[in-house]
Chain A
């Protein structure tokens, strides 16, 4: 039983805006399937006494005081942008709707 279907991979590719050929989808579906099976094996080893974790360090409540730190200049902020206009990042036409 495959852990991930070719259709699911195609769906993820669409969500991630990655164009994939039919061959690439076949190839990636098979690779991702192997990876997910490997993760399943790890999960078998983790019993109820192992809590799910998002972080390898036993840290919590790392915060900073609410004190303003100088921001980048707009020139620096925009320096890595492929395009800018009116001191704003310029991006191609967006499909969908404005928030």
Chain B
């Protein structure tokens, strides 16, 4: 009988290794001035350098170096005072040069770490993921395999290449082996990639969109029998395109390896592909060994030797760590854990923070963004932030706080702003949404209500307070819902001697 995940964990200890590739959001490619814009027509963003035409010479993008240093510092790495580029030679048409410019034995950042928190049976626990290196390289072109039935390479008659992506700055972030994660290995992997993504986003160095491929994760995992003290053979799973997939891929691969080992089969060191539908992996290209890439120093590029003073300047500009910031905001705003998670998952933390900074109450800001505005955004299938600005939401919240709007009117103002009727003020003007706060106007409406329902008024005079509801309702109706019901009630009861 096949081993379950729990069976596998009872017998084997997992060791993880994660390689994350992240495309930088620079304007231009790593070694030439071609645009890096996503989604252009095929081969409209190429030049002699990124096409590898004879006689062309690469020159490093200065912003890419700065981004690499930022990433290294944020991951607690040492920044190498001297680093060089190398050619990684291989024959595959995704690189027109027949090599990829990368870094080999002299990467720009080394020896960092990232702490991630996991919910365990014993409560929240911190795992330290050690970073081996961060190095700079260039992304490859995109292949389209034509012929055959599946669009896959096997059975394809030929391939079509688009080199728009070839040469886009790519950072490879490699962890050391991560032992001791036990049954939490899949969660640790996911938490690491999540935290890394948040850090990269906070640094502003990448779009970090896994679905567009600007953040990609290769997950290595191996199993060793408990207490054996040896390290098992690892597999490397590619095509992991979401945070959830990172967790599922490790989980699925641990079960596969555990069952192979249980049947006395060998684990082959290979590249595997994650299958989104089943959560399993299938074998891919057999791994060429590092030696086969015949790395050598790139003669067309000079060394990168960042000044210590420049590194310190960059360090001084690093933003607050996302995990630290989340904890701080959660405390400052007194947000329950569940709501905090909802806000983060909806990617509205920045937006809510911007709204609060403009004077809005944190709970109200959160409620508007996650409630009404998100609801409309979901309906329209757009981002909440495309419907309203933090300034508009803050203005409405402040108008409610000062009593100029009721919550009910505020909802109409939000609706009007989303419908493009103008600023909150303009919507209030156009729709005539001001709260009727003038007591004399209210009194007139109250007297009219009493006159039309004398019996009800008498019952209230006689002490039947709940009967006042009908009169309050009449006043609200007469004022078009723009009166403050609490104030109406107060004035009405007083008028009727209650």
* Chain A positions 17-34 with a Cβ under 8 Å from a chain B Cβ: 17
B62 proximal to A (CB < 8 A): yes
Given contacts A77-B43, A88-B162, A99-B94, contact A63 B62 (CB under 8 A): yes
B459 proximal to A (CB < 8 A): no
B385 proximal to A (CB < 8 A): no
Complex interface: chain B residues within 8 A of A62 (CB): 59-60, 301-302
Query: For the complex, would chain B's binding face be called helix, strand, loop or mixed by DSSP majority?
Result: loop
Complex interface: chain B residues within 8 A of A89 (CB): 43, 93, 96, 160-161, 163
Contact between A64 and B62, CB atoms less than 8 A apart: yes
* Chain A positions 53-74 with a Cβ under 8 Å from a chain B Cβ: 54-55, 57, 59-69, 71-74
Contact between B35 and A99, CB atoms less than 8 A apart: no
A65 to chain B, nearest CB (A): 6
Complex interface: chain A residues within 8 A of B92 (CB): 94, 96, 99
B156 proximal to A (CB < 8 A): yes
Of B53, B59, B143, most A-chain CB atoms within 10 Å: B143
How many chain B residues touch the partner (CB < 8 A)? Answer: 64
Q: What is the chain A residue whose CB lies nearest that of B44?
A: A74
Contact between B43 and A87, CB atoms less than 8 A apart: yes
B260 proximal to A (CB < 8 A): no
Q: Which of A61, A86, A88, A93 contacts B304 (CB 8 A)?
A: A61
How many chain A residues touch the partner (CB < 8 A)? Answer: 39
Q: What is the chain A residue whose CB lies nearest that of B45?
A: A71
Complex interface: chain B residues within 8 A of A87 (CB): 41-43, 162
B305 proximal to A (CB < 8 A): yes
Contact between A88 and B43, CB atoms less than 8 A apart: yes
Q: What is the chain B residue whose CB lies nearest that of A66?
A: B63
Q: What is the chain A residue whose CB lies nearest that of B51?
A: A77
Complex interface: chain A residues within 8 A of B395 (CB): none
Contact between A98 and B33, CB atoms less than 8 A apart: no
Chain B positions near chain A (C-beta within 8 angstroms): 26-28, 32-35, 41-48, 51, 53, 59-65, 82, 84, 89, 91-94, 96, 140, 143-147, 152-153, 156-163, 238, 271, 273, 284-285, 292, 294, 297-299, 301-306
Please name 18 pairs of A and B residues whose Cβ atoms are closer than 8 Å in the assembled complex, sorted by A: A54-B298, A55-B303, A60-B302, A63-B59, A63-B65, A64-B33, A64-B59, A71-B45, A72-B46, A85-B146, A86-B42, A87-B42, A90-B160, A91-B93, A92-B159, A93-B159, A96-B285, A99-B140
5 nearest CB pairs, A to B: A69-B33, A54-B297, A97-B285, A88-B160, A63-B62
